[in-house]
Structure 1
Amino acid sequence: MKKSEIKEIIFLISIFITAFFLRTYKIDNPVADWHSWRQADTAAVARNFATEDFNIFYPRSQIEDLDNPNRYFLNEFPLYNAVVALFYQSFGVQEKLARLVSVFVSSLTVVFLYLLAKQYSSKLIAFLSALFYAVLPYNIYYGRVIMPDPTFIFFSVLSLYLITLWLNKEKRSLALVSGFSLALAMLTKPYAIFLGIPIAYLVFKKWGIKSFKKLDVYLLALIGLIPLGLWRYHINLHPEGMFGSKWLINSTNIRFKGAFFRWIIFDRLNRLILATGGFVLFFQGLVSKRDNKEGLFYLTWLLSAAAYISYFAMGNVTHDYYQMPIVPVACIFMAKGFDVLWQKAKDGFSTLFNRGIAISLVLIMLAFGWYEVRGFFNINRWEIVEAGQAVDQLTPQESKIIAPYDWDPAFLYQTNRNGWPVLRNKDELQEYILRGATYYVSVDFNDQTNTLKNACSVLKETEKFIIIDLQECDFAKIK
């Protein structure tokens, strides 16, 4: 093995360990930090796989619904949830294990981003791309969440790398493996279909119009698309388990309005994700000269991310984690921008000045980025965790719980019970009781809670929460 290869292996191991270590920050957090509602949904499916029926084709939520009596949670294929459930079955239900799965795949993405960028750019740009992806504060947080998105990003980057190898070596086995990886990406998140833009570019760059005569191209497409098609067909047979997602596309007609660009470019890319310093490097890389090996690959990859963001306009404006697909290619453009500043100076002073600017921009990115995301790790309401633990200890396992928390299922998740995350009125309460609700738990001593407290038996009350037994209520006192 050559000395350069040994150094490269050492670097890859080092960057993986660095990324992994950074993402273990507050790894023991309960499911009550930023975007707890989405994490709770994902975590509940994994927990139910481990403790109820492990049927990957019928994932189950914790939320009871008259129209969905089986509690089906049919959206993306539950690959991530199933992997987490396997660990739960071996080591017990611990949210830390679910986070570690995301930490692992996110750290592995760093390695494959390096390998991918090295195919089209210099080793320095590949190194910087991986480094930026490893240390970007936004990425650190979203690289340890209980969500399928880190897994989706991993398979997306892996697919592009494998497709690159296939095009270079023209081996059918690589086409098949690439298709399998692409299928997993699209099953994990159907948004991966937008990767068709850079993939089509790479294929046509290689063979041009002759691409239509290549069997491997069709194999890649079929292997990648058929599993997604079958999954979509399957879940459409159970519409009661699906939830409305049309609003993600262009609710309020925000697409391409001033507010859309302000949210996506200024607030998300500039402020939150690339944190000003990285955004400057990104723009510098975007306008820098392209070499022949790179061609339009990075631009078409960026275009695919832009197309995805534009199509799911309202979803991307509403949720900051929706921009995760743009981060890998953004890190490559940041690396290119850094490389321009580092390499292109012509004399001693300009070299010192340019390199000082490059380093300063990276430091700004890290400082501003951490400032923006540090609050994401906080548990703002520890009382939902304490109340949930009390419910788990004091109520029978088969109990059904009402845990109002502004529709956020994170509170209900903490109880380790099925039930409802909202209660709007007396009629709804009676309906829930008819469907098996036995306890009400609240961390807000509002009018609703006080009314139930006066009308029903209290199982436990502290300064932080109250658990009410709905099996012993005087409904005449409830308005």
Structure 2
Amino acid sequence: MFRRIFDRAKLGFQPDLQGLHSPFAPWLLGGLLFVALLLRLQGIDVPFADFHSWRQSDTAAVARHFYELEMNILRPQLHYYGAPPNYAELEFGLLPFITALLYHLWGGEAVWIARSVVVLFSIWSILSIYRIAHHFWGTWASLAAAFVLALHPTYVYFSRSYQPDVPMIALALAGLANFLAWRNKGSLFHAVLGCFWLTLAVLVKPPALIFYFPLAIWWFYSDRNWYIAAAYLFFPIAFTAAYIWSIHGIAQHPFVSGLTIGFAGRLLEQGIPLGWFNDVARGLFFYTFTPALLLPVLVGLWRAFSSDAWKWILPWIVGLTAFFMLAGSNVLNLLQYYYLVAIPLVALLVAAALSESERFQDMNSWIWRQSWQKIRYTVLFWLFLAGGSYLVVNTYHWWLPQWWLQGEPWRYELWYNVDEKVLQVGSKLDEITDKEDLLLIVEGTPRTLFHSRRFGWFIEPTLFNDTYLERARAEGAAYLVWMDKDPPPYEGERVWHEEGFWLVDVR
């Protein structure tokens, strides 16, 4: 029985060559990439004050400090722990380091440069998902996978959002694509390149480990080259350990992540609360599947689990489930970009669903007369997917739970809106304070501090007190920035600015 389930010869590693002879496929892929690029240019020069701008500001601050202070990828700094240097335990700063290099070439800091780096990583990820899907299902199905990554609203937005998630996905997908190329062609170059990209992906952001779940199955059904397996395990672990050791030795501030805080205790004490299932289902529906792709994904799951593809898709789903459990519902509700790691699998499931259209093609020519039955079947299949998806998109407001609809999570266009107050306050602070002044800003995120181009501190209004203020003063704070109309509870020279803040001299 074990041999029947895990017979390596049945996985179908040989690439499906159907559709390769179509002269239109390269043009379609090129057009798709061009459309993807145009979509990602929306707001390319908008300052980091849109959706999840606090995360973008963090990454942009590291790039700024590489550019202005110390061009050393092993010495990342943040701007909200007081006076520099503010070395912190952060993920490997490949994205901000590349950005800082481009700043040097351009001659200054520019938002469009920073966002363009993420856009290019995104375009690369589309090419990689095309390669992966083509390996299993052929040209037309792989175009469907590329189509999903190119036009997926969540992926499009975060493909121009300045944070390391999309670069991590692009590196991981490139690693998987090159591993499959090695398995198909036996090229050591592809094996080494795949190992290199996956190592970088894990360094850039640890959730890249999720992509090892399908990789392990692909290796199991290959020749089981133990040298390759050792390399794909050793190098990510070794380089990650070396980087952590290097940064830990000089960092004044420990690494903090919503993935790790209290997870073990929460799981032991509470288990998996019922709310987790609801929150994850809501997030998957709107941010990963989207209403338009729900039906193709379900069909793709059915087709995958009725073929040998389930042997690597199921472990991939298990890895994603473990990741969502680790994150917890509170984090997933606040940080929609945690769902990004599931979108490549969605693209492949859509490819699996649409791979049915390959059935009426011949290796050398189209056999129209002998294939009318298959052609009719394929046309009906496409109409079913298109009509069903249209029905879901236009009816989900009626049958979804009402609390799922709170906040209008389907309004992806709202993510591009800019918080003008943050920009105005930051610009004013840059104008009226000296470059060396340290600021203590009472607000929930470090966005204003970033846009002021100053070092300092930020603190939640509910946590602010005299003790914290005195400690900041002792460390060199020059001004308290109070982001409320009511005067701050501190006696000192204070001035109200029409941008919406009080500036208090605390020296």
> Which consecutive unaligned segments of at least 5 residues does structure 2 have?
1-18, 361-371, 397-407
Rounded Cα–Cα distance in structure 1 between residues aligned with 2:88 and 2:206: 16
Q: Distance in 2 between matches of 1:111 and 1:142?
A: 17
Cα deviation, residue 166, structure 1: 1.1
Confirm whether residue 97 of structure 1 aligns to residue 113 of structure 2: yes
- The one of 31, 44, 50 equivalent to 2:48 is 31
* Alpha-carbon distance, 1:291 to partner: 7.9
Who is 1:475 aligned against? none
Shift of 1:147: 0.4
Query: How much does 1:34 deviate?
Result: 1.4
> Is 2:232 the partner of 1:220?
yes
CA contact (8 A) 1:402 1:420 kept: yes
Q: Are the equivalent residues in 2 in contact too, given 1:457–1:470 (CA < 8 A)?
A: no
When residues 417 and 361 of structure 1 are mapped into structure 2, their CA distance, relative to the original with a 3 A threshold, is farther
Percent identical residues? 22
Q: Within the alignment, does 1:462 sit opposite 2:478 as a pair?
A: no
Select between 303-312 and 157-166 the one with higher mean Cα deviation.
303-312
Matches within 5 A, 1:74-473: 74-91=89-106, 92-207=108-223, 211=224, 214-238=226-250, 240-245=252-257, 246-247=260-261, 249=263, 252-253=266-267, 256-265=272-281, 267-289=282-304, 294=309, 296-314=311-329, 315-339=331-355, 354-361=381-388, 371-379=410-418, 381-406=419-444, 408-422=445-459, 424-448=464-488, 451-452=489-490, 455-458=492-495, 461-462=497-498, 464-471=500-507
Partner of 2:8: none
Q: Which runs of 5+ in 1 are unaligned?
A: 472-479
Q: Deviations over 1:172-206 (max 9, x none)?
A: 22222111111101101112223222111111101
Does structure 1 retain, via aligned residues, the 8 Å contact 2:436–2:454?
yes
**Residue pair 1:45, 1:59 contacting (<8 A) in 2 also:** yes
Describe the superposition over 1:318-376 as per-residue Cα deviations: whole angstroms up to 9, x where unpaired.
Answer: 42111111110111112333455998996999876653342245557889999432221
Post-superposition Cα deviations, 1:149-169, rounded to whole Å, max 9, x if no partner, equal: 110000111010000011112
* CA deviation vs aligned residue, 1:19-38 (integer Å, no higher than 9, x gap): 11101112222212111221
Q: Is contact 2:291–2:393 with CA below 8 Å preserved after alignment?
A: no
Letter in 2 for 1:247: I
Report the AA paired with residue 14 of structure 1: G
TM-score in terms of structure 2 length: 0.82
Question: Which amino acid counterpart does residue 355 of structure 1 have in structure 2?
Answer: W
The whole-number CA distance in structure 2 between the counterparts of 1:366 and 1:29 is: 30
Relative to structure 1, the CA distance from residue 361 to residue 61 in structure 2 (aligned partners, 3 Å threshold; closer, same or farther) is farther
Q: How many angstroms apart in 2 are the aligned matches of 1:339 and 1:285? A: 9
Counterpart AA for 2:335: H
Q: Offset at 1:274?
A: 1.9
Aligned partners of 1:416, 1:12: CA distance in 2, in Å? Answer: 42
With over 3 angstroms needed to count, the CA separation of the structure-2 counterparts of 1:56 and 1:289, relative to structure 1, is closer
Q: Give the whole-Å Cα distance in 2 for the aligned partners of 1:19 and 1:142.
A: 13
The alpha-carbon distance between structure 1 residues 248 and 51, as it changes in their structure 2 partners (threshold 3 A), is farther
Pair 1:430–1:235, CA change in 2 (3 A): same
Displacement of 1:240 after TM fit?
A: 3.5
Letter in 2 for 1:76: E
Letter in 2 for 1:376: W
Aligned equivalents of 1:76, 1:133: Cα separation in 2: 25
CA distance in 1, matches of 2:336, 2:163: 13
Q: Measure how far apart 1:235 and its partner are.
A: 3.3
CA distance in 2 between partners of 1:195 and 1:83 (Å) = 24
Q: 1:442 to 1:362 in 2, by over 3 A?
A: farther
CA–CA distance in structure 1, aligned partners of residues 215 and 237 of structure 2 = 13
Query: Number of matched residues?
Result: 457
Q: Summarize the Cα distance change of 1:190–1:438 in structure 2 as closer, same or farther, 3 Å threshold.
A: same
Change (3 A) 1:72 1:123: same
Q: Give the whole-Å Cα distance in 2 for the aligned partners of 1:462 and 1:455.
A: 19
- SS class of match (1:312): helix
* Structure 1 residue 298, shift from structure 2 partner: 3.2
Partner residue of 1:477?
none
**SS at 2:506 equivalent:** strand
Partners of 2:168 and 2:474 lie apart in 1 by: 40
Provide the C-alpha distance between the structure 2 equivalents of 1:337 and 1:148, rounded to a whole number of angstroms.
Answer: 30
Residue matched to 2:4? none
Q: 1:17 to 1:249 in 2, by over 3 A?
A: farther
The CA distance in 1 between the partners of 2:87 and 2:293, in whole Å, is 41
Aligned residue for 1:474? none
Q: Distance in 2 between matches of 1:338 and 1:442?
A: 56
Is the Cα–Cα contact under 8 Å of residues 72 and 240 in structure 1 kept in the other structure? Answer: yes
- Deviations 1:66-94 (CA, angstroms, capped at 9, x unpaired): 9xx73122121111110111122222112
Q: Distance in 1 between matches of 2:138 and 2:421?
A: 51
Give the partner amino acid of 2:34: I
Greater relative contact order, per chain length (Cα 8 Å cut-off, separation 6+): 2
Contact kept, 8 Å, 2:133 with 2:351, in 1: the verdict is no
Tell me: CA distance 1:269–1:204, structure 2 relative to 1, closer, same or farther (3 Å).
same
Q: Is the 8 A contact 2:304 2:310 kept in 1?
A: no
* Whole-Å separation in 2 of the counterparts to 1:445 and 1:400: 22
In the TM superposition, what is the alpha-carbon distance from 1:264 to its structure 2 partner?
A: 1.1
Q: TM-score, normalised by structure 1?
A: 0.86
Over the aligned positions, Cα root-mean-square deviation in angstroms equals 3.1
CA-to-partner distance for each residue in 1:221-260, whole Å, 9 max, x for gaps?
A: 3233321121223334356322333227456436633211
Matched residue SS, 1:274: helix
Determine the C-alpha separation between the residues in 2 that align with 1:257 and 1:97: 43
Q: 1:338 touches 1:358 (CA, 8 Å); kept in 2?
A: no
CA distance in 1: counterparts of 2:94 and 2:253, whole angstroms: 17
- The answer as to whether partners of 1:78 and 1:188 remain within 8 angstroms in 2 is yes
Aligned in 2, Cα 1:42/1:156: closer, same or farther, shift over 3 Å? same
Distance (Å, rounded) in 2 between the aligned partners of 1:126 and 1:152: 21
